[in-house]
Amino acid sequence: MKVSTILSFSALFMASIASAAAPDLANKIDTCVKPGVVALTFDDGPGIYTEQLLTILDKHKVKATFFVLGIAMASNATFPAVLKKVYDQGHQVASHTFNHNPLDQMTVDVMKKEITDNSNAIFNAIGVRPLYMRAPQGACEALCTKTMEEMNQVVSHWNVDSFDWKNRDLPDPVGLSMTQFNDFIVKNGNVATDSFITLQHDIHQFSVEKLTDQVITAVKAKGFRFVTMEECIGKPAYEGVAMKPTGTDGAKPTSPSDNKGATPTGGASMTQVGAWAMGIVALASTLVL
């Protein structure tokens, strides 16, 4: 996909949110607050391939973020221990709700229960409560966003989708999913200006066993550094736990001011403001053309 196409999408996005309530965007994240980093994220686990994924990530000394489901943890007696292993190895554990149902179709009370139940399940497994969440299907409209804000949850979206969930049924799923990473990051990504949050699922075998290794190799060669969502956004990963120092993933921070991009209390980062500005410029040029 060409950058111009991406900009057109962001223009469409800008147009679509222009009429929505302004606070919606502030807490809904799909890029990091600074350029040059990539946050690998894995949804819907823990699963039977999660430990294998840990081995692959460890081989590359890469830390990732896992958006996990209480319902998955309850499905296999070993999974809470698997999640503890994820946490102990320095990856970020985040919430994907307990049941993976669409939040926008729930009352606020049920929505809150989805987050609280999952927080309890995660706490029982690893001893801390997550402050990052991803909505099932990425769907979190105004009421959901407001509710998540009230619960101090960072609503975490993505800007590169591996589509592993649908490619797994097609011939050459690795090639198809790699196309996504190549188009967005390897061909059109710019270390000086761009950051990426990628989406995979550690419940899909090919995505764990074959895709992840190729993604890491290609993205690393392009010069991007891997971060957890905590470092991507600059807000703590867990209730009552201080942020880890920058660059604990084994790579050096890109600059001394690396970790000063955001405040724990939120507000738009300069990168986001820049992205919006680009969206407006793209929108304006679309209108002119």
Ligand X SMILES: *[C@@H]1O[C@H](CO)[C@@H](O)[C@H](O)[C@H]1NC(C)=O
Q: Which does 105 bind (CB under 5 to 8 A by kind): ligand X, Zn ion, none?
A: none
If contact means CB under 5 to 8 A according to the sort of partner, which of Zn ion, ligand X, none does residue 217 touch? none
Residue 44 binds which entry of ligand X, Zn ion, none, CB below 5-8 Å type-dependent: Zn ion
The radius of gyration of the chain's CA atoms, rounded to the nearest angstrom, is: 18
User: For residues 207 and 271, which CB has a smaller minimum distance to Zn ion in the complex?
Assistant: 207
User: Could you say which residues in the range 16-35 bind Zn ion, by CB under 5 A?
Assistant: none
Total binding residues toward ligand X, as defined by CB under 6 A = 4
Stretch that binds Zn ion, among 28-36, 40-48, 146-154, 269-277 (CB under 5 A): 40-48
With CB under 5 to 8 Å by kind, the binding choice for 202 among Zn ion, ligand X, none is none
Neighbours of 53 (CB within 10 A): 24
- In Å, how far are 14, 43, 139, 241 from 154, measured between CA atoms? 21, 15, 14, 15
In the residue annotation, 91 being an active-site residue is answered as: no
Closer CB to Zn ion, 117 or 258, in the complex: 117
For 144, counting Cβ atoms within 10 Å of its Cβ (0-12 exposed, 13-18 middle, 19+ buried), the class is buried
* Pair 72, 50: CB distance under 8 Å: no
Peptide bond into 35 cis (omega under 30): no
| 48 in contact with ligand X (CB under 6 A) | yes
204 assigned to active site: no
- Orientation angle between helical segments 79-88 and 108-126, nearest 10 degrees: 70
Task: Report the interface residues with ligand X, using CB under 6 A.
Answer: 48, 76, 78, 82
Point out the residues that are catalytic: 43, 201
